[in-house]
């Protein structure tokens, strides 16, 4: 319960910290359940999903296509092009993976004549997504996932991307930036890394970092997300490195700098 309240607080903080301009209007698709590992089992997984999606704003094409772009980012592959369908698949895969894992662990314990009490495998899966900042002709979306599979702590991941305000299409990093962006962006990110992590900079796995496709934009600049263990130890959490617009704007393609959506 305490972890659940913590995740709700994180979701609320994401909404508060991600500024965006209107006219975008949104709603949230929500799912919440506790599912047993097997009939009559006290082992269970708690799954909670809350995803923001547009109902009006920018353009009709944006409202129509943005949910599909969000859906494609929930899983490595998804068969449904609707947000509800994608959430159903996400939940089904999480539940199948949980039940398979618990069954295998209990079978392994039985083969070793080890006793594991009922309710020992209580997992949690939380997924949230919000529109998070905008600049020019694109708007950012940020997915946050928390997974607890026993042990001392769970894990957090964030996946950021940008959508075209014109048609709701997901725009890749290579598409958003100019052809020669990679080397200069790498230098910019590396130069701002120490500011992002502070006194713990010397303990990083990597100090020379590169763009990884996981980014959002807002009125302040471009922000890259490096998930747990990607460039640092678990204690760092998700490392977020922001490069101000006055340093990075020349690397953005002109078509995405314009505020014009039509």
The pLDDT of residue 169 is above 90 = yes
The pLDDT of residue 1 is above 70 = no
Is the separation of the CB atoms in 193 and 208 below 8 Å?
no
Secondary structure of residue 82 in the 3-state scheme: coil
CA–CA separation, 125 and 144 (whole Å): 11
Per-residue model confidence (pLDDT) at position 248: 97
Superfamily of domain 1-168: Fervidobacterium nodosum Rt17-B1 like (3.30.565.40)
Per-residue model confidence (pLDDT) at position 17: 52
CA–CA separation, 262 and 257 (whole Å): 14
Q: How confident is the model at residue 120 (pLDDT cuts 50, 70, 90)?
A: confident
Q: Tell me, which fold does domain 172-262 have in CATH? A: Actin; Chain A, domain 4 (3.90.640)
Per-residue model confidence (pLDDT) at position 209: 95
User: Long-range contacts made by residues 82-91, C-beta under 8 angstroms, separation at least 24?
Assistant: 83/29, 83/51, 83/53, 84/29, 87/29, 87/31, 87/49, 87/51, 90/49, 90/127, 91/31, 91/33, 91/47, 91/49
Q: How confident is the model at residue 163 (pLDDT cuts 50, 70, 90)?
A: very high
Per-residue model confidence (pLDDT) at position 112: 87
Is the separation of the CB atoms in 101 and 93 below 8 Å?
no
Q: How confident is the model at residue 229 (pLDDT cuts 50, 70, 90)?
A: confident
CA–CA separation, 83 and 26 (whole Å): 14
Residues 6+ apart with CB under 8 A from 208: 186, 190
Per-residue model confidence (pLDDT) at position 74: 87
* Paired tokens of 24: 């975008």
Q: How confident is the model at residue 262 (pLDDT cuts 50, 70, 90)?
A: low
Is the separation of the CB atoms in 51 and 59 below 8 Å?
no
Q: Give the model confidence (pLDDT) of 202-211 as tens digits.
A: 888 889 999 9
Lowest mean pLDDT segment, chosen from 72-86, 117-131, 183-197: 72-86
Q: Give the model confidence (pLDDT) of 8-45 as tens digits.
A: 555 555 555 565 555 799 999 999 999 999 998 999 99
The pLDDT of residue 215 is above 70 = yes
CA–CA separation, 146 and 148 (whole Å): 7
Tokens 């089904």 belong to: 92
Domains 1-168 and 172-262 share a fold: no
CA–CA separation, 110 and 38 (whole Å): 16
The pLDDT of residue 118 is above 80 = no
Domain positions in the chain are 1-168, 172-262
Question: Which residue has better confidence, 184 or 260?
Answer: 184
Q: Give the model confidence (pLDDT) of 40-90 as tens digits.
A: 899 999 999 999 999 999 999 999 999 999 999 987 777 787 999 999 999
* Paired tokens of 76: 């490595």
Question: What mean pLDDT, rounded, does the chain reach?
Answer: 89
Q: What angle do CA 220, 224, 228 make, to 5 degrees?
A: 140
Q: How many CB atoms lie within 10 A of CB 82?
A: 13
From the list 141, 144, 161, 143, the residue with the least C-alpha distance to 211 is 161
Share of the chain above pLDDT 70, in %: 90
């Amino acid at each position: 319960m305490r972890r659940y309240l913590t995740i709700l607080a994180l979701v609320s903080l994401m909404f508060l910290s991600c500024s965006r301009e209107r006219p975008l209007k949104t709603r949230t698709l929500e799912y919440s359940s506790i599912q047993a590992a097997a009939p009559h089992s006290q082992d269970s997984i708690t799954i909670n999903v809350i995803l923001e999606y547009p109902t009006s704003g920018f353009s009709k094409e944006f409202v129509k296509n943005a949910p599909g772009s969000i859906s494609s980012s929930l899983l490595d592959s998804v068969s449904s092009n609707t947000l509800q369908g994608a959430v159903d698949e996400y939940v089904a895969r999480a539940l199948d993976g949980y039940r398979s894992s618990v069954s295998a662990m209990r079978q392994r314990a039985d083969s070793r004549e080890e006793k594991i009490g009922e309710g020992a495998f209580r997992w949690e899966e939380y997924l949230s997504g919000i529109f998070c900042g905008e600049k020019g002709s694109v708007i950012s979306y940020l997915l946050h996932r928390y997974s607890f599979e026993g042990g001392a702590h769970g894990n957090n991941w964030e996946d950021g991307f940008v959508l075209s305000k014109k048609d709701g299409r997901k725009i890749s990093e290579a598409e958003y930036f100019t052809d020669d962006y990679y080397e200069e962006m790498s230098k910019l990110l590396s130069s701002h890394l120490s500011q992002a992590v502070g006194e713990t900079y010397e303990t990083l796995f990597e100090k020379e970092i590169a763009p990884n496709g996981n980014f959002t934009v807002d009125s302040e600049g471009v922000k890259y997300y490096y998930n747990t263990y990607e460039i640092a130890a678990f204690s760092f959490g998700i490392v977020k490195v922001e490069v101000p617009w006055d340093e990075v704007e020349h690397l953005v393609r002109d078509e995405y700098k314009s505020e014009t959506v039509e």
